[in-house]
Amino acid sequence: MTKHNGNYENTDGSNQTGGQEHDPKALLGVYLEDHWAAAGAGTSLAKRLAKNNEGTQWYPELRRIADEIEQEQQTLSRLRETCGRGGFSVKRLLAQTAERVGRLKLNGSLIGYSPLSRVLELEGLISGVKARRMLWRSLRQTEAARNVDLDQLERRAKEQVDALVAIHKEATAVAFGVRRASMSV
């Protein structure tokens, strides 16, 4: 296997893996489509997490992260369009539906937001941001993102994960009785 024009090819010049032809541009389009679909759900989760934590010490950081995630979703949307993918997406609809169904999880509270809700939502958001960080890393192997500051996006994702993990540590202490959440003034 050799690298040619940014793509790995077999020594005979074909793009085959396991005997099957593949089109790198088509695969990139599917990859971006999948991440874009998940980004819609992640943006909704980040906004909901911030909204549900208004008045807590975590709100300013959660609001900032939600705003950044929304901006990054727009970057991802532009990248998706450069690969000929635009408009309606069944995958996005399914991802956003799954995010909404996830709100119905058992959280120890029949009505309202519980400390366990916060912990579970943080864990979901941490997973999503880690996946997005890997997306930015993966796009380094393509020409599609040549006009995107991947260093900044990857650095921002790392900072978001670090902040969310710190909030998660405090939120678990609150949820499991070690301390109480402080309210902002």
Domain ranges of the chain: 23-175
**61 Cβ contact list (under 8 Å, min separation 6):** 163, 167
* Mean pLDDT to the nearest integer, 54-60: 96
* Mean pLDDT to the nearest integer, 10-35: 73
Give me the pLDDT at residue 69, please. Answer: 95
Kindly report the number of other CB atoms within 10 A of residue 80's CB atom. 23
Q: Judge contact between 138 and 163, C-beta under 8 A.
A: no
Confidence at 36, pLDDT banded by 50, 70, 90: confident
Query: What CATH code would you report for 23-175?
Result: 1.20.1260
Ordered DSSP codes for 100-126 = HHHTTS--S-SSS--HHHHHHHHHHHH
pLDDT tens figures, 144-173: 899 999 999 999 999 999 999 999 999 999
Kindly report the number of other CB atoms within 10 A of residue 6's CB atom. 9
Residue predicted with more confidence, 75 or 82: 75
pTM: 0.76
pLDDT tens figures, 101-140: 555 555 554 456 789 989 999 999 999 999 999 999 999 9
Give me the pLDDT at residue 150, please. Answer: 96
Q: Name the average pLDDT for the chain.
A: 81
